[in-house]
Structure 1
Amino acid sequence: MNVRVQPNGDSPTGGRPADTGTRRPDAGRQRIPRPQAPSAPKPRPRSAPHPFRVEALRGFAPWAGGGLILALGWALAATSTQWQGSWGEMTEELNTAAGMIGVPFALASGAWQGGRERRRRTAELLASTARTPLAQFLTAALPLSCWLAGAYLVVTAGSVLACAPYASAGDPMPLVHAATALSLAACTVLGHTAGRVAPFRLTAPVLAICGYVAVGTLGKQPSDLRFLALALLHVFGDSVLPVWWYPLLSALWAAGLATAAVLAHAAYRRATALLPLAAALGAAVLLVQTGDGLLRDNPLTHRQVCDESTTPNICVNATYPGLLPEVTDALSGLTGRLKGVQNLPVRYEDLGRDPHKEEARLPILTPFGWSVVRGKVTAPERYAREAAHALVRIDCEDLPSQRIQLTDDAVLRWLAPDSVSKEIREQYVALARQRGETEKIASFRAEDKAYAHLTAMTDDERRSWLSRYFATAQDCDPKPSEVPSL
């Protein structure tokens, strides 16, 4: 019988291979498994971002902050010529914009954010979460309020940078701006509360209109109720400044109202709303009772900065001392012509009062935007003309005789030549000739003759004549014999 050997050495029956009498070297030993290389740590599951961060970086809040920056920035830029150069004017303009634009914007934005759950139909879903109603409320309301407060501070920082090159006295009142930013945040929370209570689409525009009317009405009240206008601190330029605790009291009034509204709506124990409500009412009572005591006179308004190298001396108010070189340069032609003349006022004063006998009133420099724009006198010739008028019978109701009027006009025309006045006079002369008005033509010829006589004098003769003239220049009813003629 032939036995067929399989190629792989197996037995024909398919069992184990036959023992050939030889053993493998490792037979009978227990095989020890090799240690496995440590595997790389598995990445931890990425945690979801905090809801507060999501609200702050996405959705409605950043857009609302950008919108408020544009609205306030446009309002400040449109009136920049009126406040650049004065910290007080800048602060007043910012507070007006915050009250009339920022408060309605904050109330409407907060109301729109507060009604979001009803529009999305997610109110029941949020109610089933583990977060308390107060936590949910703050998570949705605080990012928006921070964005709007930050938007106001961004506009404030831009205004400070725009005003700093031209402002020469005072400070930008940082406490006032911090209180205004906090008040805008409080108005946002108040609007959010109203949006939660009345989650309708019309709540936001109605609340904006009501806020605008309320702030405008309270702000223009002649009584002390005007100090209750939210985010509208009363700062009247550089002449009146707020006491240091007025911004803190105003911020407490707004923040107390907002906190009381939040606790009354979303807190587990609503009675806790009584504490911030009491603080808000106490601040309101102090604001109304103190009234004008919240404001004080700026001590700088009672001082002057003078240039004693001119005749007369030139003084500007200490609230804007940086304008002294510009004003001195604008009046250099006038003061140069008056050099050596006697019987002149000692100085041009700028204290906002009636000048003393030895003083003349400096033409007004404020409010900015007219005579002065961004630290520069806009029309030096016209300003010098006004300064010359202050030397000649400025407060007289009844004009003196025609001969004295001609003398006054000739002196003003020589002291401060003005191209605009010259063009206007030429138009009057041409119109009088066209109409054939002989009396006016004769008057214009007499003025030209007097002016030519004054111009033809030598310097010594003119100084002597002007010294005699200015001895009676402030007298409203001088004797004709005392006024030198031309």
Structure 2
Amino acid sequence: MTVLALRPPVSLARTELRHGTGPWAAAVIAAVVASNLFVQRYRLGDNWTDAQQMLRHFGVLIGGPMALASGCWQGGREHRCGAGELFASAARTPLARALAACLPAVLWPVCGYLLPAVVTLGAIWPYAGFGQPSWSMVFQDVVTFGALGALGFAVGGALRWRMAAPLLGLVGFVALGFTRTADGSVKWLTPAAYGFEERPVWAFGLLCAVWMAGLAVCAMLAGHARRRAVALVPLLAAVVAASLLCRGGDDLWRHVPAASAQVCGSGTPVVCVRAEHASALPAVQAVVARIDARLDGVPGAPVRYREGGSPETAPPREVRFELYGGLFRSRLGDGEMLHRDLAYFVASRGCPYRYTDRPGNPAAENAALSWLGVERPIAAEAETQAAERLRALPAEQRRAWLGRYLRAVLSCDTGTVKAP
């Protein structure tokens, strides 16, 4: 053990990286993050914002506590081996020994996160319709994993308890999850925070990196430096970064207007999606074609389908929708969900929720939904019979009835239309 302590720094670091639990920790982190991303692959989206939000959610929120636990186990190695006094008698300073021993706790979790992150971003790259990844978020995540490993190492060196590692991982998971969903500015202090449909400015990643790295360096210096007062310097930097995040965290995220610009296809009806979802346009057009085929020749049928915007402010004959089912590799995660959403909007426009003083017509609405290919799981007998009668009508009479019904939907007054 003394010989190991006197070896050159590069050789010592190489030995530390090859042995211990570091490689196993990296493999576990990579496997857990990758498996969660694979299960939720259709929620990744073909845009950088959604993909990096999912990476942060599963990477930092799940992999971060594992980095803490791995670092804590590495930090308690001397206590478990009973080699504390032997290492203390070596020529190297306690801080130099701690830095060499901490290297696996810092680098291996970073590698465990980077592997699924690179694969995920690489899979999105050919299909992303707009922009580029936020490299500041990637930088912040890398610093976060290294800092969490160092924090765990410092805790493991201070606590001589074998159960400290799993307990610290559990505490870290609860803390990350709680602060991420907290109200107010506290949520920006967690490395798992992100803004919905927004991208951070470069200063956000830098401040988060200083905040996390400052805490880790402070913990290492406080536990192993001969002059522990120097730990106040990184602690001060961390406090300053945290105060700036709390004061201006909301202002450090920006909505990118160009990402919401409409990209439209040719033909009638016109189908438009956001620029960041441009690769999904053919798939959305295929779903719209199913609706349009059932409304062929119907007066008042929609002539435009647009992603985004409030349904309540949609112009006549325009359908608003959202890709709630997600998309991946230009394929819709749930095409049937989009089909149902479009059919319900055409058949009701959300009128029962906006106008309570005008009676609806469940039988007529169910008949229209059934003709558009959506069957309600629970329908009254009268509603089922109305749908059957509509299907049995001659084509001209069916188109005439659908035209009257669609006009009534525009005024949210379907109660005036008699069911088939």
TM-score, shorter chain, exceeding 0.5:
yes
Go from structure 1 to structure 2 and tell me whether the alpha carbon gap of 1:252 and 1:392 turns closer, same or farther (over 3 Å shift): same
Between 1:281-290 and 1:80-89, the stretch displaced more is 80-89
Go from structure 1 to structure 2 and tell me whether the alpha carbon gap of 1:399 and 1:390 turns closer, same or farther (over 3 Å shift): farther
Whether 2:210 is the aligned partner of 1:270: answer no
**Matching of residues 359-370 of structure 1 within 5 Å:** 359-368=317-326
Whether 2:262 is the aligned partner of 1:322: answer no
Q: CA deviation at 1:466?
A: 5.6
The one of 410, 417, 420 equivalent to 1:474 is 410
Aligned to 2:138: 177
The superposition leaves residues 162-209 of structure 1 with CA deviations (integer Å, 9 ceiling, x where unpaired) of 333543334332321221111111111112112222233232223222
Go from structure 1 to structure 2 and tell me whether the alpha carbon gap of 1:399 and 1:212 turns closer, same or farther (over 3 Å shift): same
Q: CA deviation at 1:367?
A: 4.6
Structure 1: how far apart are the matches of 2:71 and 2:373? 60
**Structure 1 residues without counterparts, runs of 5 or longer:** 1-46, 433-439
Q: CA deviation at 1:243?
A: 1.9
**Structure 2 residues without counterparts, runs of 5 or longer:** 1-6
Whether 2:321 is the aligned partner of 1:375: answer no
Structure 1: how far apart are the matches of 2:52 and 2:373? 38
- Output the amino acid matched with 2:276: T
**Matching of residues 20-169 of structure 1 within 5 Å:** 50-169=11-130
The superposition leaves residues 58-106 of structure 1 with CA deviations (integer Å, 9 ceiling, x where unpaired) of 2332222222222222222232232253432221222122333222222
Structure 2: how far apart are the matches of 1:373 and 1:334? 23
Please say if residues 315 and 324 of structure 1, whose CA atoms lie closer than 8 Å, have aligned partners that are also in contact. yes
Per the normalisation by structure 1, the TM-score is 0.74
Q: CA deviation at 1:249?
A: 0.7
Go from structure 1 to structure 2 and tell me whether the alpha carbon gap of 1:361 and 1:51 turns closer, same or farther (over 3 Å shift): same
Question: Residue 349 of structure 1: SS of its match in structure 2?
Answer: strand
Structure 2: how far apart are the matches of 1:143 and 1:65? 10
Structure 2: how far apart are the matches of 1:379 and 1:100? 26
The superposition leaves residues 406-456 of structure 1 with CA deviations (integer Å, 9 ceiling, x where unpaired) of 555555544x245xx39x69xx7xxx9xxxxxxx47x7555534432242x
Go from structure 1 to structure 2 and tell me whether the alpha carbon gap of 1:382 and 1:275 turns closer, same or farther (over 3 Å shift): closer
Please say if residues 363 and 419 of structure 2, whose CA atoms lie closer than 8 Å, have aligned partners that are also in contact. no
- Output the amino acid matched with 1:288: C
Structure 2: how far apart are the matches of 1:271 and 1:444? 78
Per the normalisation by structure 2, the TM-score is 0.85
- Output the amino acid matched with 1:352: G
Q: CA deviation at 1:476?
A: 2.2
Aligned to 1:251: 209
Go from structure 1 to structure 2 and tell me whether the alpha carbon gap of 1:380 and 1:109 turns closer, same or farther (over 3 Å shift): closer
Q: CA deviation at 1:383?
A: 4.2
* Aligned residue-pair number: 409
Structure 2: how far apart are the matches of 1:323 and 1:168? 9
- Output the amino acid matched with 2:218: A
Percent of pairs with identical residues: 33
> Which has the higher Rg, Structure 1 or Structure 2?
1
Question: Residue 314 of structure 1: SS of its match in structure 2?
Answer: strand
Question: Residue 361 of structure 1: SS of its match in structure 2?
Answer: strand
The superposition leaves residues 19-71 of structure 1 with CA deviations (integer Å, 9 ceiling, x where unpaired) of xxxxxxxxxxxxxxxxxxxxxxxxxxxx9871111001223322222222222
Structure 2: how far apart are the matches of 1:380 and 1:142? 47
Q: CA deviation at 1:151?
A: 1.4
Please say if residues 112 and 204 of structure 1, whose CA atoms lie closer than 8 Å, have aligned partners that are also in contact. yes
Structure 2: how far apart are the matches of 1:290 and 1:394? 39
* Cα RMSD, aligned residues only: 3.2
The one of 388, 391, 394 equivalent to 1:448 is 388
Which structure's residues are more often helix, by fraction? 2
Whether 2:344 is the aligned partner of 1:392: answer no
Structure 2: how far apart are the matches of 1:406 and 1:470? 14
More contact order relative to length (CA 8 Å, sep ≥ 6): 2
Go from structure 1 to structure 2 and tell me whether the alpha carbon gap of 1:294 and 1:283 turns closer, same or farther (over 3 Å shift): same
Aligned to 1:232: 192
Please say if residues 82 and 373 of structure 1, whose CA atoms lie closer than 8 Å, have aligned partners that are also in contact. yes
Go from structure 1 to structure 2 and tell me whether the alpha carbon gap of 1:357 and 1:273 turns closer, same or farther (over 3 Å shift): same
Aligned to 2:150: 189
Whether 2:316 is the aligned partner of 1:358: answer yes
